[in-house]
């Protein structure tokens, strides 16, 4: 029985060499009186008790088998011999056992309580079930990938563990008519899940709930009401590609393909992108991608590897006004930004030198534009033409300036021309 709620049996039991047959008693069936050579019976037989309860059991020998008087008997629990002070002789053929503050069963099939003769042979056995009744299942969520099926999962109550085998059944029916139906394909997306593959109706709500039962009771979840059209999801977008944008060191281009399901049904999709640097676990999410299948990420660090993922949310399904359910994220796709060729710490833009004409207001305006763009991964249809032209000119001007300074006589500097107006 699990630690944390120890009774006297768990505190002082001695452990003999493990016996495999003892551990299988409650799986294959415990010995009963009159079965073959077994000439004793345990009472009560296979009891079910709440955690913390007490148990008074007896082992009564029938007939006159050698060495099987009450004084020669002893008890084991899950293969461990129980201390003799927990037992007492009631008469020449009956040995009693008192256990208090019982722990939850170690195995859901029941703990093995066995009565032995003096020579260690098994006289009788009983399965002991100690646990908790099920709690009300919670957090039911459902989704459909093709508007013909439905997959649901749930959480088995606040504590979950009952220490007993607990059966969960997902039930569903049409809201205003129809009979109860029981889901049959369990454990499809986890231990507490079920898949309904077909025979579902559209344009009418369903009522869905989960029932939990075990030896100590039953519980029923709250009813979830939903329309299949409101819980549609898709597979993640396939074929996600991430590439550089020419020589721009702080941008990456992301392209993907719409999930195949979007081509089969009358609905559209909106997308989200998230990205992170290689050595980080923090993702940055881009929400304003809309229904495009491409996006340019800006304001990135030069010479850095980024991982990018995309997911999809269908909407407008047969005129439904509710958004669907976000798909899983696509597999991460990696790409690196170009290394910055500009001198100085951090690759920042160079300020004008003395004697060099300054671009003045135009330069400041472009810096403001760049500062805004670096704070947003902008994925609308706005053209990047001006930004690309400015960045290309900046890189070219820095290269030209560095070359001129190494060639021209001392005191003279080369002047890079700005972009044509």
Query: 150-159 burial string, b = 16+ CB within 10 Å, else e?
Result: bbbbbebbee
Tokens of 179: 């009979």
Q: Are residues 144 and 214 in the same domain?
A: yes
CA distance 184 to 161: 23
Q: pLDDT truncated to tens, each residue of the chain (421 aa)?
A: 433 333 433 333 333 333 444 444 564 444 543 444 458 999 999 999 999 999 999 999 986 655 568 888 999 999 999 999 999 999 989 999 999 999 988 887 889 999 999 889 999 999 999 999 999 999 999 999 878 899 999 999 867 688 999 999 999 999 888 789 999 999 988 889 999 998 888 888 999 999 999 999 999 999 999 988 888 888 899 899 999 998 888 999 999 988 876 666 656 788 999 999 998 999 999 987 878 889 999 999 999 999 999 999 887 776 666 777 899 999 999 999 998 765 444 333 323 333 444 444 455 555 555 555 554 555 644 445 555 655 665 566 655 555 555 544 444 444 444 444 3
Q: Are residues 255 and 302 in the same domain?
A: yes
Domain count of the fold of the chain:
3
Residues above pLDDT 70, as percent of the chain: 67
Pairing type for strands 87-91 and 294-297 reads: unpaired
Output phi, psi for 366, to 5 deg: -65, -35
Structural domain contains residue 106:
yes
| Nearest CA among 172, 189, 190 for reference residue 181 | 172
Of 306, 336, 366, the residue that ends a domain is 336
Q: Are residues 210 and 187 in the same domain?
A: yes
Strand order in the sheet with 241-245: 241-245, 248-255, 294-297
Tell me which residue has tokens 């403001």. 368
Q: Are residues 157 and 211 in the same domain?
A: yes
Structural domain contains residue 101:
yes
Tokens of 258: 């719409």
Encode pLDDT of 314-338 as tens digits. 877 766 667 778 999 999 999 999 9
CA distance 170 to 156: 12
Q: Which residues pair with 185 in a beta bridge?
A: 195
Q: Are residues 111 and 160 in the same domain?
A: no
Burial status of residue 370 (CB atoms within 10 A of its CB: 0-12, 13-18, 19 or more): middle
CATH number, domain containing residue 245 = 2.60.40.10
Let me know: does 75 contact 114? Beta carbons within 8 Å.
Answer: yes
Tokens of 109: 């099939």
Q: Are residues 248 and 320 in the same domain?
A: yes
| Nearest CA among 290, 294, 289, 287 for reference residue 255 | 294
> Cβ of 353: how many Cβ atoms within 10 Å?
11
Find the distance separating the first CA and the last CA of the chain, reported in whole Å: 82
| Nearest CA among 197, 183, 196, 193 for reference residue 137 | 193
Q: Are residues 104 and 82 in the same domain?
A: yes
Cβ neighbors of 371 (< 8 A, separation 6 or more) are none
Q: Alpha helices of 299-414 — where are they, by DSSP H?
A: 360-374, 385-407
Encode pLDDT of 41-67 as tens digits. 999 999 999 999 999 999 999 866 555
CA distance 155 to 402: 65
Of 313, 336, 359, the residue that ends a domain is 336
Structural domain contains residue 344:
no
pTM score over 0.85: no
Q: Which residues pair with 61 in a beta bridge?
A: 40
Q: Are residues 214 and 282 in the same domain?
A: no
CA distance 366 to 378: 16
Q: Are residues 145 and 213 in the same domain?
A: yes
Output phi, psi for 393, to 5 deg: -65, -40
- The DSSP secondary structure of 146-162, one letter per residue, reads SSS-EEEEEE--SS---
Tokens of 205: 């709500």
Reported residue count of the chain is 421
The CA-atom distances, in angstroms, between 135 and each of 159, 166, 172, 274 are 8, 10, 20, 38
Structural domain boundaries, residue 89: 39-131
Structural domain contains residue 25:
no
Q: In a 3-state reduction of DSSP, which class is residue 358?
A: coil
Measure the CA angle with vertex 405, ends 403 and 408; round to 5°.
Answer: 100
Of 310, 336, 362, the residue that ends a domain is 336
């Amino acid at each position: 029985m699990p630690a944390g709620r120890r009774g006297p049996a768990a505190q002082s039991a001695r452990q003999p060499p493990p016996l495999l047959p003892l551990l299988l008693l409650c799986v294959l069936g415990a010995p009963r009186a009159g079965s073959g050579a077994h000439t004793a019976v345990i009472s009560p037989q296979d009891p079910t008790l709440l955690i913390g309860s007490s148990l008074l059991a007896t082992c009564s020998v029938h007939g006159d088998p050698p060495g099987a008087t009450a004084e020669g008997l002893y008890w084991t629990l899950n293969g461990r011999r129980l201390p003799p002070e927990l037992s007492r002789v009631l008469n020449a053929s009956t040995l009693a056992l008192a256990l208090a503050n019982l722990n939850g069963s170690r195995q859901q099939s029941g703990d093995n309580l066995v009565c032995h003769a003096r020579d260690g042979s098994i006289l009788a056995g009983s399965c002991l079930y100690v646990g908790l009744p099920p709690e009300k299942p919670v957090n039911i969520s459902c989704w459909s990938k093709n508007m013909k099926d439905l997959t649901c999962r749930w959480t088995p109550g606040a504590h979950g563990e009952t220490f007993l085998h607990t059966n969960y059944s997902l039930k569903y029916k049409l809201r205003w008519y129809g009979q109860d139906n029981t889901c049959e394909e369990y454990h499809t997306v986890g231990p507490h899940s079920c898949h309904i593959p077909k025979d579902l109706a559209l344009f009418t709500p369903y009522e869905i709930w989960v029932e939990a039962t075990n030896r100590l009771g039953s519980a029923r979840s709250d009813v979830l009401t939903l329309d299949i059209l409101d819980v549609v999801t898709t597979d993640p977008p396939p074929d996600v590609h991430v590439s550089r944008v020419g020589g721009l060191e702080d941008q990456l281009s992301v392209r993907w393909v719409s999930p195949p399901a979007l081509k089969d049904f009358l609905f559209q999709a909106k997308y989200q992108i998230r990205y992170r640097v290689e050595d980080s676990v923090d993702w940055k999410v881009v929400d304003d991608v809309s229904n495009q299948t491409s996006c340019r990420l800006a304001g990135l660090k030069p010479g850095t590897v980024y991982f990018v993922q995309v997911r999809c949310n269908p909407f407008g399904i047969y005129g439904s006004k509710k958004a669907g359910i976000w798909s899983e994220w696509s597999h991460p796709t990696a790409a690196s930004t170009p290394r910055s060729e500009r001198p100085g710490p951090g690759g920042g833009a160079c300020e004008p030198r003395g004697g060099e004409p300054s671009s003045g207001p135009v330069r400041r305006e472009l810096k403001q534009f760049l500062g805004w763009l670096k704070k947003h991964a902008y994925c609308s249809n706005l053209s990047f033409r001006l930004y690309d032209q400015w960045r290309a000119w900046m890189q070219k001007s820095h290269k030209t300036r560095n070359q001129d300074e190494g060639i021209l006589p001392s005191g003279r500097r080369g002047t890079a021309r700005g972009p044509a107006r």
